[in-house]
Amino acid sequence: MAHSAMTGPKATMTKRIQNETAAAPLPLFYKDPVLLRFEEHGDVGLISAADFSFAAEAVAIPLCAGEFTVAMRHYPIVFAMGEQAAPIALVAIEEKRNLFIERDGTWRPGSYVPAYVRRYPFIVTEIPGQGQQLLSVDRGSDRFVAKVSATRDDAQRLFDAEGKPTPTAQNAMAFCHAYHQDYSNTVAFGRALVAAKVLEPYHADFRLPDGSRRQLDGFLAVNETAFRALPADTVTEWHTRGWLTLVALHLASMQSFQALLELNAQRANERKALA
């Protein structure tokens, strides 16, 4: 890695999910990502804190294929509208209320933290045609420190005095690289689902503790009938690529809707107790 660049109610909820997962100028959570260069960012650092408050208003979190096995135990895994049908984990029933963020900003104990969340505030940019990945960091993150001083020991530098990436930066690059590799397979999987025409709009109806009803939609799920009717050659290919397993995990994850509803009721009671 060169010194100069290191990178590794219904309608409302529908709009929210689509906005969070559709292609946009900036990815979800990121406000001001900048390519890390020693010449410009020799003194920058990152506060070491497991604070996930930046995701407190998220309704859905992007997932990679490699996360399905563990994520399905905690979240319904569905697919975003669009040509890539990106997998997403639903983390809320009501707008702007990620049920897995505690009052102190930590993630709910015992629940899987998606890699997309753990990667933040870092992200990689791949140079087209070259395959080179460069590491960027979101300057809009509360953890970002523009200038690390000797008196501030809660921030870890990203470059050492010689302009080389520190272990913090190296670990971030390794994580982002692994994420990027998994993401590439995930994109291929999503496109295959779309091409095979096995996805359909999914609607989930809920009754909240106060008696009101919510309909959560704006996403896709696999139609089991269409899935079981896949041609033999497609089944063989998907088996080889591990995609049959991913579909099975997705379908099994839909049972997590009940747990999501119960957690929503728990959070509502907690807010009521604090009122």
Predicted confidence (pLDDT) per residue in 147-169, tens digit: 887 656 688 999 999 999 999 99
Residue 94: per-residue pLDDT: 87
Q: What is the mean pLDDT of residues 10-17?
A: 50
Residue 15: per-residue pLDDT: 52
3-state secondary structure of 274: helix
Q: Which residues are CB-contacts of 69 (< 8 A; sequence separation ≥ 6)?
A: 249
Residue 214: per-residue pLDDT: 78
- Confidence category of residue 48, pLDDT binned at 50, 70, 90: confident
Which residues, in sequence order, are bridge partners of residue 18?
A: none
Q: What are phi and psi of 45, to 5 degrees?
A: -150, 180
Residue 13: per-residue pLDDT: 54
Query: What percentage of residues in the chain have a pLDDT greater than 90?
Result: 72
Q: What is the mean pLDDT of residues 265-272?
A: 90
- Confidence category of residue 207, pLDDT binned at 50, 70, 90: confident
Residue 55 to residue 18: CA distance in whole angstroms = 16
pLDDT over 70 (residue 211): yes
Q: Of 19-33, 220-234, 257-271, which one has max mean pLDDT?
A: 220-234
pLDDT over 70 (residue 273): yes
Q: Which residues are CB-contacts of 95 (< 8 A; sequence separation ≥ 6)?
A: 12, 13, 16, 59
- Confidence category of residue 127, pLDDT binned at 50, 70, 90: confident
pLDDT over 50 (residue 1): no
Q: What is the mean pLDDT of residues 248-253?
A: 98
Residue 226 to residue 195: CA distance in whole angstroms = 12
pLDDT over 90 (residue 240): yes
- Confidence category of residue 178, pLDDT binned at 50, 70, 90: very high
pLDDT over 70 (residue 24): no
DSSP, residue by residue, 61-130: EE--GGGHHHHTTTS-EEEESSTT--EEEE--SSTT--TTB-TTSPBPTTS---HHHHHTTEEEEEPTTT
Residue 154: per-residue pLDDT: 80
Residue 11: per-residue pLDDT: 46
pLDDT over 80 (residue 19): no
Residue 116: per-residue pLDDT: 98
- The predicted-structure confidence for 60-104, as pLDDT tens digits, reads as follows 999 999 999 999 999 999 999 988 999 999 999 988 999 999 999
The alpha carbons of the chain give a radius of gyration, in whole angstroms, of 20
Q: What are phi and psi of 71, to 5 degrees?
A: -65, -30
Residue 185: per-residue pLDDT: 94
Q: What is the mean pLDDT of residues 132-158?
A: 87
Q: What are phi and psi of 3, to 5 degrees?
A: -65, -35
- Confidence category of residue 21, pLDDT binned at 50, 70, 90: very low
